[in-house]
Structure 1
Amino acid sequence: MAKVRGAIVVDTEACKGCEVCIPVCGPDVISMSQEVNRKGYHYAYMSDPEACTGCTNCAIVCPDRAIAVYRVKVA
């Protein structure tokens, strides 16, 4: 059976750093960056890409729709 690996893409300019996505991420994939976007907000990023399952919880709770989730089957 194929295993599913996920990945998120964050629109760094749309993210306002509310951190709502962090507690809903079961495998603790998401962290806040040290850098800021043009609006001065720290934005979310994948700190542990290997652990992402593609569950979409982060994208569902994001109030700014700044997160896109992708799933890939790996052998």
Structure 2
Amino acid sequence: MARKGKVKIARPDWCKTCGICIEVCPVEVLELGNTRIQIAHLENCIGCENCELSCPDFVLKVVEDNE
């Protein structure tokens, strides 16, 4: 179930640009930058946690709006 929250890049230096998070995001919030993932459309984030749960390197985290 989706939480009331948004994705954030919790550990940017851990990103290996595998792109899994981009593929599992149903609303196209993320995009691939030159060296790591980027949040391109945060306003579209529904807090589904797909990206957080699928990231093998624990880069992303869905947090409450006030965090």
* TM score, norm. by length of structure 1: 0.73
CA RMSD of aligned residues (A): 1.8
Number of equivalences:
63
Q: Which of structure 1's runs of 4+ aligned residues deviate more than 3 A?
A: none
Q: Give unmatched runs, 5+ long, in structure 1.
A: 35-41
Counterpart Cα distance in 2 of 1:47 and 1:6? 16
Q: Give unmatched runs, 5+ long, in structure 2.
A: none
Matched, 1:67 2:66: no
* TM score, norm. by length of structure 2: 0.81
Q: Which protein is richer in helix relative to its size?
A: 2
| Secondary structure class of the residue paired with 1:50 | helix
Task: Report the AA paired with residue 20 of structure 1.
Answer: I
Q: Which protein is richer in strand relative to its size?
A: 1
What is the aligned counterpart of 1:56 among 37, 49, 52? 49
Say which one has the larger Rg: 1
